[in-house]
Structure 1
Amino acid sequence: MKQSSLPALFCLLCLSLRAAAPAEPAALANWPQWRGPLASGVAPQVDPPLTWSETKNVRWKVKIPGTGTATPILWENKLFVLTAIPTGRKLDLAEAAARKAALATLPSGGTREVSTSVEPPQEFLRFTVICLDRQTGKTVWEKVACEEAPHEGHHRNHGFASASPVTDGTHLIVSFGSRGLYCYTLSGELVWKKDLGKLHTRKSFGEASSPALHGNTVVVVRDHEEEDVLLAFDKRDGRELWRTRRDEPTAWSTPLIVEHGGRTQGVVASSSGLRAYDLKDGRELWAGPKLTESVIPSPVYSNGVVFVTSDYQKKVTYAVQLGRTGALADTDAILWNYRAHAPYVSSPLVVEDLMYFCSNATGRMTCLNARTGEPHFEAERITGLQNLYASPVAAKDRVYVLSREGSCVVLKQGPKLEVLATNAIAEKTDASMALVGKEVFIRGQAHLYCIAEE
């Protein structure tokens, strides 16, 4: 079901040519953050391989110690990966019992929900940043951010190294959530670190929101079952620039930073709605429509419009035109809404006038007209795609969709569903892909793959 606002849509068509803020040229040639150079999954300067397998077009494959689902990022010849490595060292029994008892004392009720059904881990983990050589996959440097036994567990399909790092080519910003926020040089020297305190997530499902970076400002959102806050830090020294209180249950979405109308704003998706904050001082600029609980997908931006979607017990997708302030939910700033087949985990992909996403956590693909919300096709089953957590990416008029089983279906970009290739590696894959130059980087359950034409 779709509803649209035609007057606002006409205004959008008039303004779209000057609405988008271009990424820096250096960023366009790299994969510097969660969802790539435009924070959208689109890689405009990339010519990736069409086909591969475990034995075809694999330039290198290296084992990554520990576990993690953070998307690797890349700047020039360096690839950065986060992981949590078991140490074998355990908490003593008294400390383990005390931690479990502490979880039971946390407040709950209303929309807040803390569960002790997920056992807190008793083993210390080594939270580690690894830098690999892009051409060979060999380790350039490896730094341990901290060694800690996490205070709460995570969902069985989740982990402790799920937030993707971000870089501007000089600073590398790393978030291990409750284990801290870190800034390194690209040579691995620690510049600063911040202890932001413990997060207590809904049902102890774990943490995932990635940091965002714009100019000198690092933005971190902490929506959980206690005090929620949006924070900004100076990337150069870690100095806190501002903090804005929020009132949200747990969400796992990553902030989206956009420039529009001469103003830079951080857009955050959460249960009470899509909200934007002035990046200068953290002041709320506008509040959009209400979303579902347990928001995981990140919003995306294209041609003056922010697109957001979520799926937990109901399905919502909205297109919100930028340029307004205040409460937008009942205004024509909401260009259209679509209430079917929304993704639960993966984020949507908007490329040109097409919006792609997969239903729930399955491989059923939907494509909408991004300007009107009208469906081109809906919940189409694609052979080779089953369960799906990774977000789709686009390059060279193609859409790459990676499943949890290690298969990747390549679609022709367009309003009709056309499969160009079906590829597979022999590992489970929950992290989203990274595309740079003529290469595809895929993080499997145990290995990192560099896919390139032989």
Structure 2
Amino acid sequence: MVRILPLLLILWFALPLAAEPVVDGEWPRWRGPFDNGVARGAAPTKFSSTENILWKAEIPGRGHSSPVIWKERIFVTTAVDTGKPAEPKPAVAQAPAGGRPRPGGEMPLLEQRFVVMALDRATGKKLWEQTAATETPNEGYYGTYGSYASPSPVTDGKILIVSFGSRGVYAYGLDGKLVWEKSFGKFEMRLGFGEGTAPVLHGDVLILNFDHQGDDFIVALDKSTGKELWRKAREEESTWSAPLVIEHSGKTQVIVSATARVKSYDIATGEELWQCGGLGLNAIPAPVYDGENVYVMTGFRDKNMFAIKLDGAKGDLTGSDHVLWQNDRGNSYTPSPVLDDGILYFTADNGMISALDAKTGAPYYVQQRLPNPTKLKSSPVAAGDYLYQATEDGDVVVLKLGKEYAVEAVNHFPDEFFVATPAIADGKIYLRGVNMLYAIGE
């Protein structure tokens, strides 16, 4: 059910994604302005909790969503427990494919307040805060890496879209006024791992994908009103991969990874354009696109990465010449790849990084271990000549982009734990830790 609130008329002024004007000063969605983890311009390579910190702002509660940036505002989401206890219940034990049942994520014991915040980009001062919902979650999340505020918001400079999954989807003006809200019911995620798929905006259309253990679906909404434009059943297991919207050969399509396969939909109608099998379980990394091919990956069981040629793509592409190459070494389980200057960079959860030629799949280097052996969930990002990887140990490792593995710096934040992916805009890095957002610049 949609509830529409009065607001100024919302107009869309941007061209389609493939032709959007690129500005240095914005990071409007989770994987940045190009959907490949890359920012225009350079950013600092040497910093720490005390060096090159422009400001830091405390973020209450818990959330692993990434900040998004538009002009003078930074938007973040979080979940703050109210202290009100709920009736405890056991997590559902589900059997992984080929494995034994094991307990799911931590079950919620406290009511949560689901919060959207806007900060001043220059100072970190809070501009506004809205509580989208206050309720007890229906499920928990993976204790170490999960949160009730993991999906990153998205903005086009006119409207801000926030998804709290089972707690609803909310549209705000950039001044914090609620435009509409919509509920899609409660979702049951595999092994109680929690929800985490980011919403996607393209023109007037908002795309949401809800793959879970129940009746899952992908849906398109009018961004200004929340009106449903189309919905397609997915018949998939739980996934966490964000959709990718691209324009190719005059057709705008929505590409979504899933269990065992990737699918493409016509953004105007929801019609399936093509699909390709070959992915594994627990799809998390987002697809990336270079203007000709799309690259998809899973890193859990039956892990695989492959390149799909989009010219002429139609129907089932499994095993066809459209699959240009495949790779099963060093694949990311959680982080999404960076695609820059024809090179795919991807990091595995065990702290290793690989780089491949995107056109051929030929490796430049494979499974090179990052300094300070570590684990990671955050996705890498890139700016200027460097790639940045935040880790669970409070490090941000900076590597040189290119065909050779070369570490430029290891920047340490004592007592920090990074799961959220950094945002980079206008030469500054915005890094979310456990309860702090850091603005890094020179």
Partner of residue 194, structure 2: 206
Aligned position for 2:58: 63
Matched, 1:243 2:238: no
Q: Is the 8 A contact 2:94 2:190 kept in 1?
A: no
The answer to whether the aligner puts 1:272 opposite 2:260 as a matched pair is yes
- Cα deviation, 1:308-336, whole Å, max 9, x if unaligned, reads 11111232111111121111111111111
- CA deviations on 1:420-444 (whole Å, 9 max, x unpaired) are 1211222111000100002100000
Residue 342 (str. 1) matches residue 331 (str. 2): yes
Matching residue of 1:137: 124
1:248/1:351 CA distance change after superposition, 3 Å: same
3-state SS of the aligned residue for 2:39?
coil
Aligned counterpart, 1:16 = none
State the Cα deviation string for residues 279-331 of structure 1 (Å, max 9, x = none).
00111000012211111111111122111111112321111111211111111
CA–CA distance in 1 between the matches of 2:432 and 2:360? 35
Query: 1:50 corresponds to which residue?
Result: 45
1:443 aligns with 2:432: yes
Q: 1:147 aligns with which of 130, 134, 148?
A: 134
| Alpha-carbon distance between aligned partners in 2 of 1:345 and 1:107, rounded to the nearest angstrom | 20
Is the CA contact 1:385–1:408 (under 8 Å) kept in the aligned structure 2? Answer: no
- The amino acid that maps onto 1:369 is D
Q: Deviations over 1:53-107 (max 9, x none)?
A: 111100001110000000000000100000000111123xxxx26xx38x76x99
Aligned runs of 1:21-170 on 2, under 5 Å? 22-25=18-21, 29-44=25-40, 46-91=41-86, 96=87, 100=89, 117-157=104-144, 158-170=146-158
Matches of 1:68 and 1:134, distance apart in 2: 19
Equivalents in 2 of 1:50, 1:280: separation in Å?
42
**How many residue pairs were aligned?**
424
Structure 1 residues 118 and 152, CA gap change in structure 2 (3 angstroms) = same
Q: What is the 5 A alignment of 1:366-445?
A: 366-384=354-372, 386-426=374-414, 427-445=416-434
The offset of 1:179, in angstroms, is 0.2
1:7 matched residue in structure 2: none
Larger fraction in helix: 1
3-state SS of 2:38 partner: coil
Identical-residue share of aligned pairs (%): 39
Residues 245-264 of structure 1: pairs in structure 2 closer than 5 A: 245-264=233-252
Q: Match for 1:70: what amino acid?
A: S
Change (3 A) 1:118 1:422: closer
Q: Secondary structure at the match of 1:81?
A: strand
SS of structure 2 residue aligned to 1:288: strand
| Equivalent in 278, 303, 320 of residue 291 of structure 2 | 303
Specify every segment of 5 or more residues in structure 1 that has no aligned partner in the other structure, as ranges.
1-19
Q: In structure 1, how many angstroms separate the alpha carbons of the residues matched to 2:245 and 2:409?
A: 33
1:114–1:200: 8 Å Cα contact kept in structure 2? no
The TM-score with structure 1 as length reference comes to 0.90
Report the CA distance shift for 1:108/1:237 in structure 2 as closer, same or farther (over 3 A).
farther
The answer (yes or no) to whether the contact 2:118–2:128 under 8 Å persists in 1 is: yes
Conserved? CA contact 2:288–2:295, under 8 Å: yes
Q: Deviations over 1:186-208 (max 9, x none)?
A: 00000000011001000111000
* Cα distance in structure 2, aligned partners of 1:219 and 1:112: 33
- Aligned mates of 1:375, 1:55 — CA distance in 2: 37
1:81–1:226: structure 2 CA closer, same or farther, 3 Å change rule? same
> Counterpart of 2:6?
none
- 1:108–1:233 CA distance, 2 compared to 1 (3 A): farther
Identify the match of residue 318 of structure 1 among 302, 306, 318: 306
Q: Give unpaired runs (5+ residues) of structure 2.
A: 1-15
Question: CA RMSD for the aligned pairs?
Answer: 2.0
